[in-house]
């Protein structure tokens, strides 16, 4: 849900001059009433303005900012997640670095033999090993990754706001999206189904700002 410049202007005019009729709003914007009809209908529908017959429009106190906040809580991880790039614990550092380039991502998610989330390896994790001059053709990512249970992840039904909060609070670039599954021993395991990175958050931000 985005608001146009004109809709924002209407809200400002109503805030300052309420109650105000649609004719008066149209006049101050140098537009016709007909042109404003759809904007006023929308602003009333979402609860930012209130219309009282024969009196005019009021501002309800529900700001556009409140609305954006609601919107961010409504967009679910499953609506915006990207494809995860997954390697196994045995993948060598060298192959992991090649995968970073080929897949154009900054973080790889690692799964164990049972194909459950076991770790995360980031650009800097890999750089550290390279700088240390170790044999990148021999060392597996399993040896250097950040591993469970220290992995921060989200689920499909979490909001994009929840994901952004995790990314910010833990100072990381991305989180795996997982589906919780009980294994044959009754223990909860996590299947990787996607990825939310700072890029996904930026995309939502740009979408909201579009006019």
Identify the CA nearest to 178 among candidates 123, 132, 121, 111. 111
Selected from 32, 150, 199, 202, the binder of ligand ADP by CB under 6 A is 150
Q: 43: which 2 tokens?
A: 């602003």
Counting contacts by CB under 6 A, is residue 123 touching ligand ADP?
yes
In degrees rounded to 5, what are phi and psi of residue 168? -70, -50
Counting contacts by CB under 6 A, is residue 17 touching ligand ADP?
no
In angstroms, what is the minimal distance from the CB of 87 to ligand ADP? 13
Identify the CA nearest to 94 among candidates 123, 147, 124, 130. 130
Size of the site for ligand ADP (CB under 6 A): 16
Counting contacts by CB under 6 A, is residue 142 touching ligand ADP?
no
Counting contacts by CB under 6 A, is residue 173 touching ligand ADP?
yes
Whole-angstrom Cα distance, residue 165 to residue 204? 14
Counting contacts by CB under 6 A, is residue 122 touching ligand ADP?
yes
Counting contacts by CB under 6 A, is residue 124 touching ligand ADP?
yes
Counting contacts by CB under 6 A, is residue 16 touching ligand ADP?
no
Selected from 39, 50, 125, 158, the binder of ligand ADP by CB under 6 A is 125
Which positions from 151 to 170 touch ligand ADP by CB under 6 A, shown as an x/- string? xx------------------
| Residues in a beta bridge with 190 | 180
In angstroms, what is the minimal distance from the CB of 151 to ligand ADP? 4
Whole-angstrom Cα distance, residue 44 to residue 42? 5
Nearer to ligand ADP, 36 or 145 (CB): 145
Span interacting with ligand ADP, options 3-11, 49-57, 80-88, 146-154, rule CB under 6 A: 146-154
Counting contacts by CB under 6 A, is residue 118 touching ligand ADP?
no
Residue 110, C-beta contacts closer than 8 angstroms, at least 6 positions apart: 86, 87, 88, 89, 91, 117, 118, 119, 120, 121, 141, 142, 145, 147
Taking CA atoms, 100 is separated from 22, 35, 108, 126, in Å, by 56, 51, 7, 10
Whole-angstrom Cα distance, residue 49 to residue 39? 11
Selected from 105, 160, 175, 204, the binder of ligand ADP by CB under 6 A is 175
Residues at the contact surface with ligand ADP, assessed by CB under 6 A: 106-107, 120-125, 146, 150-152, 172-175
């Amino acid at each position: 849900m985005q608001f146009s410049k004109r809709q924002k202007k209407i809200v400002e005019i109503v805030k300052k001059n309420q109650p105000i009729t649609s004719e008066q709003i149209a006049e101050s914007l140098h537009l016709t009433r007909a042109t404003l009809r759809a904007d006023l209908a929308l602003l009333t529908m979402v609860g930012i303005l209130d219309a009282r017959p024969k009196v005019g429009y009021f501002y309800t106190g529900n700001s556009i900012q409140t609305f954006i906040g609601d919107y961010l809580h409504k967009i679910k991880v499953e609506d915006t997640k990207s494809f995860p790039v997954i390697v196994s614990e045995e993948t060598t550092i060298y192959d992991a670095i090649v995968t970073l380039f080929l897949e154009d991502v900054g973080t790889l998610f690692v799964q164990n033999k049972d194909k459950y989330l076991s770790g995360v390896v980031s650009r800097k994790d890999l750089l550290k090993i390279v700088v240390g001059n170790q044999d990148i053709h021999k060392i597996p990512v399993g040896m250097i990754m950040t591993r469970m249970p220290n992995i921060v992840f989200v689920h499909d039904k979490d909001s994009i706001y929840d994901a952004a909060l995790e990314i910010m609070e833990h100072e990381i670039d991305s989180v795996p999206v997982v589906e919780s599954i009980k294994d044959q021993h009754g223990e909860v395991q996590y299947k990787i189904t996607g990825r939310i990175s700072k890029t996904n958050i930026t995309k939502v931000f740009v979408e909201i700002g579009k006019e």
